[in-house]
Chains A and B, each alone.
Chain A
């Protein structure tokens, strides 16, 4: 297992380097000029200086190398400085956003709490709802509950978030007036009333996201439960007189959780990726929204860094899912 994990981790490095290279070269093709917003009165030689200050004068390969150095060498130093109060990264050039002229990593760190609050809570809520639904509807296959559950998950699977979002806004913000339609990022929670406001503004985006994730997870859970319920060990467990609660709740659920846990692990990168669509519907100031605005504003360093972080997360959690699978299921042998 350890050798497998190490081999996969070593293999992940060239994969990530290749992905980052591809994204970087794609971005080089981008039309648009970061100097487009600079007033026309600025003389061309000053503009050229500004361009060089952004690191645009060098050939693409050199730019790529500089970006790599900034991400893998300077940014960790900044992190160490921040944690231990040292001065390692003093005066070194970090990855700078073309939009705000501030370090990309700082902006990302500002945005992450919003995304984590909304998308992370949605993920937890979805897991808490999906697993019981999946377990029960597999246990009572073809019952009314199962039929209804399958139908609802199918609907959740099919309705896109850019429809459920506006739908919820029309019903709950416009008609009923219960929840605000816009997520207020500047809201500070310091007492119970403000916590209630925070809850109210979180409910709708969380509902939209959780609906989708629940649909996927409970389908997996149901299928996996059905696979296991027909196995011989279940008959044995029943035959030796175990109660139904123990048979299903302990024996079957534990075995059915193996594939579901890997699916959950595979979905975690999307939490950090933020839900681009849901965030833009509810105006949540998260990572997804940051990527969208950066794309439209031609902010290449920001786009580059964000997509690279997403890629790292996807590769990492793929690896974690595979290792988890091997750890949880002793039948799986990687060596």
Chain B
């Protein structure tokens, strides 16, 4: 047998029994199973170097903050005043007189708290806030977008609400809300839990609008397609229609805005901590560590650099991942 069906046809013609002229019927069918959309996207994503770096670093940092505290079991809150103001171990490379030690690999702060342990715990808080806020904002945005796009009667009011939220000055309102609701929530859920709920809710409430707009636009376009009409004609209920037919088709813009949302959530949380309205002072987050270190950055620049680099690299990798996803999910670009 030869490779292509045309050759089969010629072979069939030249065969003594010329009856089996229709070569396509003899075709053995495709050798490989059809490629799924997922593997197409993955192949495209793999070509995007930035996205692969982003995915790699995000996985690394997530694993580090999740597993790290179980391997490096130093308590980030432990005050070790004798070993205060230690420099990171690599400082010894160029400054032999520096106060370094293997017991504090990244040094310690002015109260002797271990920097590595604080970085891990801080990363945990920052990532947890980022993921939770992103998921919540995605949920609100998708829900409002789908409902506004699908139900014509709700479109007007919901989009007016979205416009209204877009007209709000975000950062002032964030600061306002944090200062207003800090006390009652702290009383209700404890200092850390209350702050977590507050920051996640506020970041989500102020960042769902772009997702809602994009999703609504896509739903409006998909709603008019034939397959939705077909599904409707066999009696699918609106809920089923949305879940089974519309949501899977708007998944790609949702994923892209998920990546961007994660980046904004991490930055916003750090900014709030930096301005001093974030988590309580004994609860490390990257933004808080950075803010606390700024006053001593002349002597101990690494205390600003480490959390700063951690935030920047995480956000950079998430942004790159979002960029790569956008390219990979766009069928017009894919395959080029």
Q: Which residues of A contact B (CB under 8 A)?
A: 15, 18-19, 23, 26-27, 29-31, 154-155, 157-160, 162-163, 166-167, 169-170, 174, 269, 273, 276-277, 280-281, 291-292, 295-296, 303, 306-307, 310-311, 314-315, 318
Contact = CB atoms under 8 A, between A and B. Distances in A.
A292 B304 CA distance: 23
Contacts, number: 110
A311 B169 contact: yes
Nearest to B270: A160
B320 to A, nearest CB: 7
Contact of A19 (B50, B168, B312): B168
B294 interface: yes
A167 B312 CA distance: 12
Interface in B260-311: 263, 267, 270-271, 274-275, 287, 290-291, 294, 297-298, 301, 304-305, 308, 311
Interface stretch (B65-73, B109-117, B177-185, B238-246): B177-185
B172 A318 contact: no
B169 A160 contact: no
Given A277-B275, A307-B176, A158 B290 contact: no
B25 interface: no
B173 interface: yes
25 contacts: A23-B176, A26-B176, A154-B320, A158-B312, A159-B315, A160-B267, A160-B312, A162-B271, A162-B290, A163-B290, A163-B304, A163-B312, A166-B290, A166-B294, A166-B308, A169-B297, A170-B304, A273-B169, A277-B274, A303-B176, A306-B172, A307-B169, A307-B172, A314-B166, A318-B167
A292 B175 contact: yes
A155 B169 contact: no
Q: Would you call the interface of chain A mostly helix, strand, loop, or mixed?
A: helix
B323 interface: yes
Given A26-B180, A30-B180, A303-B176, A15 B271 contact: no
Contacts of A157: 319
Given A159-B312, A318-B166, 8 more contacts: A18-B164, A163-B304, A163-B308, A163-B311, A170-B304, A295-B176, A303-B176, A314-B169
A258 to B, nearest CB: 19
- The 9 A-B pairs at the shortest CB distance, nearest first, are namely A310-B169, A163-B308, A158-B316, A158-B315, A162-B274, A159-B312, A307-B172, A315-B167, A174-B298
A277 to B, nearest CB: 6
